[in-house]
Amino acid sequence: MEFGLATSSFLGTQLIPATLFSKRARALSLTVTATGGSRNNKVYTRLDSCLVIPPPPKFKKPRAIVKFLGGAFVGAVPELTYSYLKELLAKEGYLIVSVPYNVTFDHEQAAKQVYERFNSCLDTIVSSGIPNSNLKPGDLADLPLFSVGHSNGALLQVLTGSYFAEKIPKVNAIISFNNKSATEAVPYFEQLGPLIQQMLPMVEASPIYEMARNASGDVLKLLLDTAGTTILNNDQEALKSFTKLVDQLPSVFGEVGQGVSEFRPSPLENRNCFKCSYSVPHTLLVQFNSDAIDETDLLEETLKPRIDSIGGTLEKVRLNGNHLTPCIQDPKWQIGSVYSPADAVAQALKTIPLSETRVLSRTIVDWFRRFEN
């Protein structure tokens, strides 16, 4: 596998080939608004460093607050990469708080940073309410706290529940857990350091990188249209999100170039930490039937004695889908004046993955509702 700007990307703790990542380019650039809405009428609000999606106005108050963490790289722009799943959860009455984070080999640092950012945002929400919504501080006091984590975000959620005993969720939904070592995820990983060290100046000087960082709205529109997505003019939010995604690359390459060859803590150290310290009472483990890098079974084996000892609940479900199912978006395929075979194929391809994401959402909601009171 080649390793470079255009050839690979993190999602969990595994490097994903560029061919797979390019297939998901459409998902990375899709709507940050409710389906069918205007892009200028965002469904999320930026508070501190977090993104907040309130439930629909028909709910007088949220059922619970849900902390949401996406996978590595894509977790930096959850407004693009997880918008469909998050909006499905919000429509069920949950207040969704996404914590964007940049990928790093230091998982302990990342977990603690996410914990601090989320709780800072939570303090703001509880004390001031949510701008541009009808939710006042009194509507948000004493709500249960739940969490959802996917892939590397699942690992960070479990680490958070192990590092801290206070201000942690009552309930976790852990999706496609992955805790592989770098050497397992990428063969010959240790040998990449010198290569990346030589490549880094070229990456930072790359016209592609500079274009992504400094692109005008028109250039961004051209890039994303090439991926099959229509971006409305002057979409500065999409521009910022795209830049955040690209900005992670040099820091990751820099770590490798400096000789980093393993995630910190190691997978074994993480498992030992879970066995001794995991404190979230109720945990749902979600795995998909076509996920080659999933380690949910090992996590279940690791967590069960600990959760039994604290009188909690641990359940596992297996759903149709793959590692990218939580990232599936709702592409707005424009049907022509004459319904063509291409339209039929596009709609058929769209229906299956969307239904799998909806089943995932329903599974999470059913789990949460068991513990709302």
CA distance 359 to 86: 13
| Segment 1-59, tens digit of pLDDT | 333 333 333 455 444 333 333 333 333 333 333 333 333 456 888 898 899 999 999 99
Average confidence (pLDDT) over 263-287: 96
* Residues paired with residue 261 on neighbouring β-strands, in sequence order: none
Residue 255 above 90 pLDDT?
Answer: no
In the numeric block, which tokens belong to residue 191? 């040998």
Tell the residue number behind the tokens 């380019």, with chain if given.
25
The residue-averaged pLDDT of 341-365 equals 73
CA–CA separation, 275 and 290 (whole Å): 27
Tell me the pLDDT tens digit for each residue of 211-252: 444 444 444 444 444 433 433 344 455 556 556 666 655 666
Residue-wise DSSP of 30-75: S-SS-TTS-TTS-S-EEETTEEEEPPPTTSSS-SEEEEEE--TTGG
pLDDT tens digits for 177-191? 999 887 675 544 444
236-247 per-position pLDDT tens digit: 555 565 566 666
Q: How far apart are CA 302 and CA 317, in angstroms?
A: 16
State the pLDDT at residue 337: 54
Q: Residue 299: which of 206, 184, 166, 176 has the closest Cα?
A: 176
**How far is residue 367 CA from its own chain's centroid?**
19
Least confident of 30-39, 168-177, 251-260, 272-281: 30-39
**Host H or E run for residue 139:** helix 137-140
Secondary structure of residue 292 in the 3-state scheme: coil
Over range 343-359, report the average pLDDT.
Answer: 68
| Confidence category of residue 262, pLDDT binned at 50, 70, 90 | confident
Q: Using CA atoms, how far apart are residues 91 and 54, in angstroms rounded to an integer?
A: 9
* Highest-scoring range by mean pLDDT, 76-90, 259-273, 321-335: 76-90
Q: Cα-flanking dihedrals φ and ψ of residue 139, to 5°? A: -75, -15
DSSP per-residue string spanning 175-223: ES-----HHHHSTTGGGHHHHHHHHHHHHHH-HHHHHHHH--HHHHHHH
* Weakest-pLDDT range from 78-92, 212-226, 308-322, 329-343: 212-226
Handedness of CA 107, 109, 115, 120 (dihedral sign): negative
**Given this model, what pLDDT does residue 286 score?**
98
Q: What is the mean pLDDT of residues 109-128?
A: 96
Report in angstroms the alpha-carbon separations of 207 from 63, 221, 247: 47, 17, 14
